[in-house]
């Protein structure tokens, strides 16, 4: 395990800010979607056309990054 950590230490350092702030990113995205219908519509279109997912696809994508990192 130590070999893996040493090998990927630089990558782990890069990911740390995202992992620390992920909850805030999700909260901010949720707030923006609630406050701005145009932003919400654009986000839904992105989730469906680009991510090929339904509503909540962006948050799922952020969760997936977090889960993959922790594995």
pLDDT of residue 24: 95
pLDDT of residue 30: 95
Nearest to 22 by CA among 53, 70, 68, 59: 59
Name the pTM for this structure.
0.69
pLDDT of residue 7: 80
User: Which phi and psi (to 5°) does residue 8 adopt?
Assistant: -110, 20
Q: What's the rounded Cα separation, in Å, for the pair 34 and 11?
A: 34
The pLDDT-based confidence of 1 (bands split at 50, 70, 90) is low
pLDDT of residue 66: 66
- pLDDT for 5-55, tens place per residue? 778 777 777 778 888 898 999 999 999 999 999 999 999 999 999 998 888
The count of other CB atoms within 10 Å of the CB of residue 48 is 13
């Amino acid at each position: 395990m130590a070999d893996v950590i040493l090998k990927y230490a630089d990558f782990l350092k890069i990911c740390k800010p995202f992992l620390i702030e992920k909850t805030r990113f999700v909260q901010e995205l949720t707030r923006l979607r609630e406050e701005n219908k145009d932003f919400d519509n654009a986000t839904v279109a992105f989730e469906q056309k680009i991510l090929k997912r339904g509503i909540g696809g962006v948050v799922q994508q952020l969760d997936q990054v977090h889960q993959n990192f922790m594995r």
